[in-house]
Amino acid sequence: MVAYGKPLIVHFGEGNKLGYSLVQLIETSNITGHFVEESNDMYLDIFSCKSFLEKDALEVIIQYFKPAKIQYTMLHRKAPRI
């Protein structure tokens, strides 16, 4: 995945929703996330029109964020050919 431009990172919210949100455009779509300060939870969405290996994404998440546990859902979407 190749970044397109710089990421947008904003700190906002209140109470148990306070944290950082980010949007990173990539050449094949985008990566978005929210990092909740109170619970130390991370919500990450990787959307790409180009196929990628689930294990590669998980390895990067583990390497950079070192989560205590991971719960994820992988959706495979196929757009109809017109």
Contact 47, 30 (CB under 8 A): yes
Integer Cα distance of 21 and 68 in angstroms? 20
Query: Residue 76: is its pLDDT beyond 90?
Result: no
The tens digit of pLDDT for each residue in 34-65 reads: 999 999 999 999 999 888 899 999 999 999 99
Q: What is the per-residue pLDDT across 19-39, written as a single tens digit (0 to 9) for each?
A: 999 999 999 999 999 999 999
pLDDT band of 77, cuts 50, 70, 90: confident
pTM score, whole prediction: 0.85
pLDDT band at 18; cut points 50, 70, 90:
very high
